[in-house]
Structure 1
Amino acid sequence: MRRVFLSAFVIFIALIMLSRLLYLQLLDEEISYSFLDDNAIDAKYHYPERGYIYDRKGKLIVSNAPAYDIMVIPRKVTKLDTLEFCQLLDITQEEFEHKMQKAITYSPRLPSVIVQQLSKKEYAAIQEKMRKYPGFYVQKRMLREYQTKSGANVLGYISEVNEWEAGNKKGYQQGELIGRSGVEKVYENELRGKKGVNYIQKDIYNRVMGPFKNGRYDTLPTPGKDLKITIDKELEAYGEQLMVNKRGGIVAIEPKTGEILALVSAPYYDPALLVGRKRSKNYNKLALDTIAKPLYDRGLLAEYPPGSPFKLINGLIALEEGVINEKTKVTCYHGYHYGRNGFMACHCPSGTVNNLKSGITRSCNAYFSNAYRKIIEKYPTPAEGMQVWSDYVKSFGLGNYLHNDLATGKRGYIPDSSFYNRSYGRNRWFATNTISNAIGQGEVLTTPIQLANVAAIIANRGFYYTPHIIKEIDNQPITDENFTKPKYTNIAPENYEKIIEGMFEVYNNSEIGTARRTRIAGINIGGKTGTAENFAIIEGKRYQLKDHSIFIAFAPIENPQIVVAVFVENGYWGSTYAAPIASLMIEKFIRGEISRTDLEKRMLNSSLQDEYDKALNPEQLSDKKE
């Protein structure tokens, strides 16, 4: 019995081993062990071509061009003349030793980059000599090639994965490229594709015998998917031209879809600077410019007081709450007096009587301060009134992320009752303590893309689509409900018409319209100028700098095709820079050409560099406040 049991056990073990061997040899289609642990097997990777990027009209923006990396597999390196090798690659011995040590630390058996992104010409010069250096080989890859000098902040850039990413991101190895910002980062999974690999069998003399297992485990690279983005290539470039020697942002949106037409951040840079062997040097130069901050996307990240365009929201809330109507009149005495000594100056001549329309047209501080107080004081306590007001404002997408598909962004800030309870104490503050909110100053902060979205809401009479940058992926239109489903505010549609009447007069009232000098014949535009106070702390002292110039607009009023928000830092009044730039952007998009060439020339040639220089030199600031 014992002999039978022992025989059966031996046969059973033999069958298990045989079945496992058959599985590994014949059935297992996956890599059951790491081939690269075998010295007789090499892996040669083939990187896919990254997906192309097109603008909304199908014009190519980003394509690819070949480049060549010098790779190393440390365990295969034999003794070599490092001086000769470094001269061939045009690198120092220190650089070489640093890269080699980094490669060994990463993995002796996996490839690492020694020199990246050689041009065709550089590669041709060393191609024949590379066979003298075992363990080193040339890896062809595709780098980004730009068909535009604009939109660097939108498109983003790619760079080599770092050590952490190589060890922790599935599917990435050292030397591969990854999207770092903009569209390249957000749509990395769609753009990157999938790399292929060939496994090569070698004999004991390191001679190539052919494909491992007849290429059974080899794979072909899968190209990345092409993207069509919502940006208008020509409009984006035109916006950057208008912002030369200025700082700020321009955001243009198609209101009926939420598609972003232009996303300008100034100062800007050529996206080609962050491609090739000089990428690191150029990036450091841009990143270390802490004054102009060219890598800082002002359209998405800069939080400014919204200024007078915010009066439109207060007007809408006041209408919805029934504390004013379009006929409500307020007399302005060159400003608004409140509290014991409070005074908010205004440009209206003393004794001017405004209704809602003329209040918007003249941008009357007294009118909207009065409306704001009525909203807050409608309720039993200021805290209750403030909470109602705050909830209305937040329904416009302010004070929060817009949940778009952009790589970065800021929330802005909309205060509520809890904020003022913390600041002043519960039941120890009144509407007058928060009166600056009436005119878009105070604690309120918005980004340019948020204000552009506010303009889209007004243009749509009460709703918006989440602003987004993607239009199609691999020729398939987007279907994400976040971008295709409208979001509604808490304001009735009929109240928007009353606000739009005043916005139309901002352009078209030849006597009092604050943007009347930037009218475009044949295009009905609704807009609102804004001027936001601007302070800086320099050497421990608080200085008042030139105000920011702000403007929001949409056109045509009867069938809106575009909304624009413009912020120009230190740009004086809203009518000085922001309004002219907005009107030019609108005409460029709708007509494709500019009729007001005098206005265009003035904006293209104007510079605010002197104002920015003054901010660095306190002695030149005459209107300072301690």
Structure 2
Amino acid sequence: MNDQRPVVIIIFIFSVGLILLIKLFSIQVVDDSFMKRAERNAVQRVVDHPYRGLIYDRNGKLLVYNNPIFDLMLVPQEFEVGDTTRFLELFGISKENLIEAYNAAKKYSWVKPSPLIKQISTTDFARIQDYLIDYPGLFVMTRSVRAYPQPVASHALGYIGEINARQLENDTTNYYSQGDYVGLSGLERYYEQVLRGRKGVKYKMVNVRGVDKGPFKDGEYDTASVAGTNLTSTIDMELQRYGEMLMAGKTGSVVAIEPKTGEILSMISAPFYDPNQLTGSEFGKTYTALNRMETKPLFNRPIMAKYPPGSIFKVVQSLIGLQDGILTPETTFACNRSLVACHNHPSPVNLFGAIRNSCNPYYHQAFRKIINREISSNTYKDTEIGLNDWREKVMKFGLGTSLGVDITGELGGDVPSSKLYDRFYGEGRWKYSTIYSLSIGQGELQVTPIQMANLAAIFANKGYFYTPHLVKAVNGDPNQIPEKFRIKRDVGVDAHHFDMIQDAMAEALYGTAARAIIQDIVVAGKTGTAQNPHGEDHSVFVAFAPKDDPKIAIAVYVENAGWGGRAAASTASLMIEKYLRGSINRQALEEYVLVGNFKN
């Protein structure tokens, strides 16, 4: 009897195990009621996307806000459609798009949500929301797109769009997911981490029909989203809007800066576009259409277009010559037109007269003295040494390299070095007569409009500048803007040299830009006519005002508009008057600019 006990125990254990296996098989394979019961109350993870920070102008006027939109999300494992025709009609989607979205969702994940229809408007969402309960596996995720109460400053503000694969791959923070929106240009891109906020997550119970059954474990695992930080822009919305009105139908740039701070008051790239066009579900189609236009409205001219500075550069030449002791206010040269063409004016002229009358032969001769100092007995070597020394001084004025403005894509322009001419002509095979066009701001010299506006700020400040920037405060605190925008940068020219320069620039208006004169406001300015080998010359003007206490420095480029004293000077003068007085008293000049006939 005792010998049979182990056998009984083994049989008992085997029997119990067999019973359990049979029961488990029945539960898992034969009867799926338990699985269905579990699925009836699934836990759904919903990302709570934060609102992006708002952007205001310098006076507290709203420039950018958020509009709610809705993405219809699909969970492939749960998705069921009975009447396909009715579904397509209700949700306004084609059968091909439905199949494509469903297959893409399955490829991404069988159990994770993917977008079925993106950026549904508030109106359309109100129409479809009552039908969502009829389709398991569908739910709505709330997002927001940008909106603009005034359609201005599109190039400065930038736009947001759906993150692409390369950006996702480069996201070392693992913050973004497929379908997220991200700043793609302008302030939206530069201050992305400030504006984006922080995502939250909510876990909720839903039954098999997608009906919300409340938070999972009373929201114990939920985290709230945190809205993005607001920015106060340096832009003056009224000045920006007025400038865009003046530049409508033209091609060019306007950049206005507050000299004492480097704050950009207005940044206009013409032609421009309504920033509201690059929002919502039509973003891709509209972007493609804008990108294909011959006028290039997406091209950000103030920071990307490169032009020869023309006669405006003569002021920089004057300051370098004064600082090095090569020129003095009394230095006099004849207006020798056999050297380079010039217009009619008294001759000879001293430095004051050269600035006032924009005398080309004066700067041809002055630049030769700056470059060829007989440091070497070899003429070619002497020019090389002088050019490299001159280039180093020019670059202190913020030329030849990007200034570091707070929007991406800024180009640096070009200040030629001896290495450039060595490549062109061969080492030791060029001299002053090869490069003399640099004397009057032509040749290989290239600047961007924002660099020209910064030059105007330097002339106004008597020798220093702050890096131009578009944000005045972060979350209301001016000390939170990047430190580089609060660093004073000296250009290496003593302040007293600017006294005569400023007086000459104020007097120059009477000689070359009479339209820029404003009654009771002393404007100091300089015209330029930048040569354009592809057509009509570009009209250029820089100025600051009031001369003795500058509050605005401005650069205007109007492409193919000819002489700087007409299109550019007139536009700049009206912008200055608008900013300093708040209104325009010279309606005839305003009409002249709006019409755009700059032949006389």
TM, length-normalised to structure 2: 0.88
Asked whether 1:531 is paired with 2:533, we answer no
CA distance change for structure 1 residues 450 and 604 in 2, over 3 Å: closer, same or farther? Answer: same
CA distance change for structure 1 residues 520 and 43 in 2, over 3 Å: closer, same or farther? Answer: same
Distance in 2 (alpha carbons) for counterparts of 1:581 and 1:375: 34
Asked whether 1:570 is paired with 2:560, we answer yes
User: What 5-or-longer segments of structure 1 have no aligned partner?
Assistant: 1-36, 338-343, 537-544, 611-626
Asked whether 1:77 is paired with 2:79, we answer yes
1:67-101 deviations in whole A, cap 9, x for unaligned? Answer: 22211122322354443322222222222222233
What's 1:477 paired with?
478
CA distance change for structure 1 residues 60 and 251 in 2, over 3 Å: closer, same or farther? Answer: same
1:167 offset after TM fit, Å?
5.6
Of the three residues 370, 373, 376, the one matched with 1:375 is 370
What's 1:416 paired with?
417
What's 2:133 paired with?
131
Helix, strand or coil at the partner of 2:571: helix
CA distance change for structure 1 residues 221 and 426 in 2, over 3 Å: closer, same or farther? Answer: same
1:271-309 deviations in whole A, cap 9, x for unaligned? Answer: 1111122222211111111x1000001111000011110
Asked whether 1:215 is paired with 2:219, we answer yes
What's 1:254 paired with?
258
Aligned length: 552
1:390 offset after TM fit, Å?
0.2
Is residue 233–residue 472 contact of structure 2 (8 Å, CA) maintained in 1?
A: yes
CA distance change for structure 1 residues 81 and 179 in 2, over 3 Å: closer, same or farther? Answer: farther
Is residue 336–residue 365 contact of structure 1 (8 Å, CA) maintained in 2?
A: no
1:207 offset after TM fit, Å?
7.3
What's 2:434 paired with?
433
Helix, strand or coil at the partner of 1:332: coil
Distance in 2 (alpha carbons) for counterparts of 1:405 and 1:208: 44
Which deviates more, 592-601 or 93-102? 93-102
Distance in 2 (alpha carbons) for counterparts of 1:73 and 1:472: 43
What's 2:15 paired with?
none
1:181-330 pair list within 5 angstroms: 181-201=185-205, 210-289=214-293, 291-330=294-333
1:556-594 deviations in whole A, cap 9, x for unaligned? Answer: 110110000001100110012000001111111111011
CA distance change for structure 1 residues 441 and 294 in 2, over 3 Å: closer, same or farther? Answer: same
Structure 2: which amino acid aligns with 1:198? K
Distance in 2 (alpha carbons) for counterparts of 1:187 and 1:450: 22
1:456-471 pair list within 5 angstroms: 456-471=457-472
TM, length-normalised to structure 1: 0.85
1:453 offset after TM fit, Å?
0.6
1:33-82 deviations in whole A, cap 9, x for unaligned? Answer: xxxx9994211222212111100011111112222221112232235444
Helix, strand or coil at the partner of 2:538: strand
1:166 offset after TM fit, Å?
4.6
Of the three residues 352, 361, 378, the one matched with 1:357 is 352
What's 1:22 paired with?
none
Asked whether 1:347 is paired with 2:348, we answer no
Is residue 167–residue 173 contact of structure 1 (8 Å, CA) maintained in 2?
A: no
Is residue 64–residue 145 contact of structure 1 (8 Å, CA) maintained in 2?
A: yes
Is residue 421–residue 427 contact of structure 1 (8 Å, CA) maintained in 2?
A: yes
Distance in 1 (alpha carbons) for counterparts of 2:81 and 2:68: 31
Is residue 336–residue 369 contact of structure 1 (8 Å, CA) maintained in 2?
A: no
Distance in 2 (alpha carbons) for counterparts of 1:221 and 1:562: 41
Is residue 133–residue 211 contact of structure 2 (8 Å, CA) maintained in 1?
A: no
Which deviates more, 81-90 or 199-208? 199-208
1:104 offset after TM fit, Å?
2.8
CA distance change for structure 1 residues 547 and 138 in 2, over 3 Å: closer, same or farther? Answer: same
Structure 2: which amino acid aligns with 1:419? L
Distance in 2 (alpha carbons) for counterparts of 1:607 and 1:132: 63
Distance in 2 (alpha carbons) for counterparts of 1:315 and 1:336: 22
Is residue 136–residue 209 contact of structure 2 (8 Å, CA) maintained in 1?
A: no
Helix, strand or coil at the partner of 2:446: coil
CA distance change for structure 1 residues 57 and 210 in 2, over 3 Å: closer, same or farther? Answer: closer
CA distance change for structure 1 residues 206 and 159 in 2, over 3 Å: closer, same or farther? Answer: closer
Structure 2: which amino acid aligns with 1:101? N
Distance in 2 (alpha carbons) for counterparts of 1:81 and 1:447: 60
Which deviates more, 213-222 or 461-470? 213-222
Distance in 1 (alpha carbons) for counterparts of 2:183 and 2:192: 6
What's 1:15 paired with?
none
Is residue 135–residue 210 contact of structure 2 (8 Å, CA) maintained in 1?
A: no
Structure 1: which amino acid aligns with 2:190? V
1:422 offset after TM fit, Å?
2.3
1:253 offset after TM fit, Å?
0.4
Is residue 391–residue 416 contact of structure 2 (8 Å, CA) maintained in 1?
A: yes
CA distance change for structure 1 residues 579 and 209 in 2, over 3 Å: closer, same or farther? Answer: closer
Distance in 1 (alpha carbons) for counterparts of 2:323 and 2:188: 43
Helix, strand or coil at the partner of 1:263: strand
Asked whether 1:176 is paired with 2:171, we answer no
Q: Provide the aligned C-alpha RMSD in A.
A: 2.1
Distance in 1 (alpha carbons) for counterparts of 2:210 and 2:548: 76
Helix, strand or coil at the partner of 1:345: coil
Distance in 2 (alpha carbons) for counterparts of 1:492 and 1:364: 24
Structure 1: which amino acid aligns with 2:111? R
CA distance change for structure 1 residues 39 and 159 in 2, over 3 Å: closer, same or farther? Answer: farther
1:485 offset after TM fit, Å?
1.2
Distance in 2 (alpha carbons) for counterparts of 1:303 and 1:296: 12
